[in-house]
Homo-oligomer: A and B are copies of this chain.
Amino acid sequence: MINKLVEGIKKTEAPIVVGLDPTMKLIPKFIMDKAIKEHGETLDAAGAAIWEYNKGLVDAIAGLVPAVKPQIAMYEQFGIPGLVAYDKTVKYCKEKGLVVIGDIKRGDIGSTSTAYAIGHLGSVKIGNTVCRGFDEDFATVNPYLGSDGVNPFIDVCKEEKKGLFILVKTSNPSSGEFQDQLIGDKTLYHLVGEKVAEWADTHMGDDYSYIGAVVGATYPEIGKIMREVMPKSYILVPGYGAQGGKGKDLVHFFNKDGLGAIVNSSRGIIGAYQQEKYASFGEEGYADAAIAAVKDMKADIQSALK
């Protein structure tokens, strides 16, 4: 799956993942109104609206970018109907040839991590039949519980040829509160990064490992250091755009081969139609606005990498 991701990045020339993070504020009013008309003011209406919104976005961006990253929290907030929309979105994106990174940030003790890994990346046997739950291609994982919280995910990834992005340095302002603490002469995120490099060695694709890391665009200097600490890991870079990360900040996250990083944008693309720059598309043109925003982001990154 890491090979498919790298190929997709080369083919589209866009090291971009689109964050499918639907919120009430982002869903166009005409879609929400229609859903409420059909389902009433219920969670089912929210689920139906998310699915229609996502379908329009996915149809627009498939072929332009290699991957999508649905943030499961944005679906989970609507309970079961929200998660049904998540499930449908994952399956639809895979049909369209997109690599799906489930942004689930799960992590627990051994047997519980195994259950998460099975539900999101693997399969479970019911009687003699192999059944699959959410079945994303990659998942994000929280390392706070240590190796025996992460290894069950890696084990399932090895069986399934799937991958992980492990949180190293997150993009939020207070990420330093624990992650930047000095342990001896190294920070906690540095220590986690070294561990990611070890894990990465155990599950290699052709040129890059199935085991990647998350490092926020909002901390480019840290990206530079972590790039060297984890040479074989793809870095998933959130925080571009709405959170303040800029194209020129991204250069440090890439290797000299022009690969090794994939940059996420969520609101900046799926909510582009709400920005002044793309306002002419109007609400009904939200998917076309997303296409324009993807193209602008691609140009921004390409000019930074030159």
Contacts and interface: CB of A to CB of B under 8 A. Distances in A.
Contacts of A46: 124, 126, 131
B178 A192 contact: yes
A92 interface: no
A3 interface: no
B119 A145 contact: no
Nearest to A151: B174
Interface in A116-135: 116, 118-120, 124-129, 131-134
Interface stretch (A77-85, A219-227, A298-306): A77-85
A263 interface: no
Contacts of A149: 170, 172, 174
B42 A177 contact: no
Per assembly, the copies of the chain total 2
Given A76-B116, A116-B73, A191-B181, A171 B105 contact: no
Given A41-B126, A116-B76, A116-B77, A182 B179 contact: no
Contacts of A233: none
A41, A42, A132 pick with most chain B CB within 10 angstroms: A41
Interface in A62-107: 71, 73-74, 76-80, 82-84, 87, 105-107
A73 B111 CA distance: 9
A76 B41 contact: no
B148 A173 contact: yes
A166 to B, nearest CB: 11
A70 to B, nearest CB: 12
A43, A132, A238 pick with most chain B CB within 10 angstroms: A43
A181 to B, nearest CB: 4
Q: Which 3 A-B pairs rank lowest in CB-CB distance, beginning with the nearest?
A: A79-B133, A146-B177, A41-B129
Interface of A: 21, 23-24, 36, 40-43, 45-46, 71, 73-74, 76-80, 82-84, 87, 105-113, 115-116, 118-120, 124-129, 131-134, 142-149, 167, 170-179, 181-184, 188, 191-192, 195, 238
21 contacts: A40-B129, A41-B126, A41-B129, A73-B106, A73-B113, A76-B134, A77-B133, A79-B134, A82-B119, A144-B144, A144-B170, A144-B178, A146-B177, A146-B178, A146-B179, A147-B174, A148-B174, A149-B172, A177-B195, A178-B188, A178-B192
